[in-house]
């Protein structure tokens, strides 16, 4: 009898563990499925859109980190191929001594993108804020999202939930940093839960709203 009771208890534990695992992975499956038709492996394949939305990824001594530089290189390629006309760089400038968008703009200009084709969003504090502000503040309706490949499913899904006709192309970082890239994929399994909450359940306002910005519209008319 005791053996039977122990088996029943272990069965319940295993079932509960399985249910929790499914619930934990459901948001990740959601972002993968929701974005699968809109993610592309190369800049040559992605459809033309008016705007490339480049998401911030940190600074080192005031310059873009290698991962952020990789994203910006993808944006340069998109612009040079004529796939986009304007690059909207969205990052964190919540402190006076930390200015991602300006560093991103400088990098793009140094690599051949005209200064008047680069527009900065200084309040892109996370992926949802960047997507939501691109739509609500900058008036973007169609864009190519640029980030790392491991982040791309979540980024494209959130931008589409924010109302953008969003496509995406990612920067492959396996050869650049295997450990960091592996951690990035691992982290996405959990970050997708917040994405589901922000983009599908509550559709929260970005941290900062403010007045409408005309920079993208003006750049598109040049």
Q: Which domains can be identified in the chain, with CATH numbers?
A: 2-220 (3.40.50.620)
Check residues 121 and 193 and name the one with the higher pLDDT: 121
Residue 119 has pLDDT above 90, yes or no: yes
Residue 107 has pLDDT above 90, yes or no: yes
**pLDDT tens figures, 174-185:** 888 899 888 888
First to last CA, the chain: 81
**pLDDT tens figures, 40-74:** 999 999 999 999 999 999 999 999 999 999 999 99
Residue 150 has pLDDT above 90, yes or no: yes
Mean pLDDT of 157-165: 96
Rg, C-alpha atoms of the chain: 20
- Look over the chain and give the mean of its residue pLDDT values, rounded to a whole number: 88
3-state SS track over the chain: CHHHHHHHHHHHHHHHHHHHHHHHHHHHHHHHHHHHHHEECCCCCCCCCCEEEEECCCEECCEECHHHHHHHHHHHHHHHCCCCCEEEEECECCECCECHHHHHHHHHHHCCCCHHHEEEECECCCHHHHHHHHHHCCCCCEEEEEEECCCHHHHHHHHHHCCCEEEEEEECCCCCCHHHHHHHHHHHHHHHHHHHHHHHHHCCCCCCCCCCCCHHHHHHCC
pTM comes to: 0.88
Q: What is the pLDDT of residue 190?
A: 81
Q: What is the pLDDT of residue 8?
A: 52
């Amino acid at each position: 009898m005791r053996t039977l009771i122990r088996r029943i208890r272990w069965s319940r534990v295993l079932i509960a563990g399985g249910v929790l695992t499914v619930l934990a992975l459901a948001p990740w499956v959601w972002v993968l499925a929701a974005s699968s038709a809109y993610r592309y492996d190369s800049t040559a394949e992605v459809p033309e859109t008016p705007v490339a939305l480049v998401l911030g990824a940190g600074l080192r001594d005031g310059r873009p980190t290698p991962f952020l530089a990789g994203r910006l290189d993808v944006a340069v390629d998109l612009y040079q191929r004529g796939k986009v006309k304007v690059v909207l760089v969205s990052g964190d400038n919540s402190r006076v001594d930390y200015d991602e968008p300006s560093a991103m703009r400088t990098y793009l200009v140094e690599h051949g993108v005209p200064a008047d084709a680069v527009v900065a969003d200084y309040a892109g504090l996370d992926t949802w804020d960047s997507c939501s502000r691109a739509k609500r503040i900058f008036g973007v309706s169609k864009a190519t999202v640029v980030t790392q490949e491991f982040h791309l499913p979540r980024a494209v899904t959130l931008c589409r939930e924010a109302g953008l006709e969003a496509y995406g192309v990612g920067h492959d970082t396996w050869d650049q940093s295997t450990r960091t890239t592996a951690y990035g994929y691992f982290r996405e399994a959990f970050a997708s839960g917040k994405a589901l909450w922000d983009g599908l359940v509550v559709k929260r306002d970005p941290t900062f709203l403010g007045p409408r910005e005309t920079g993208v519209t003006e750049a598109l008319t040049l």
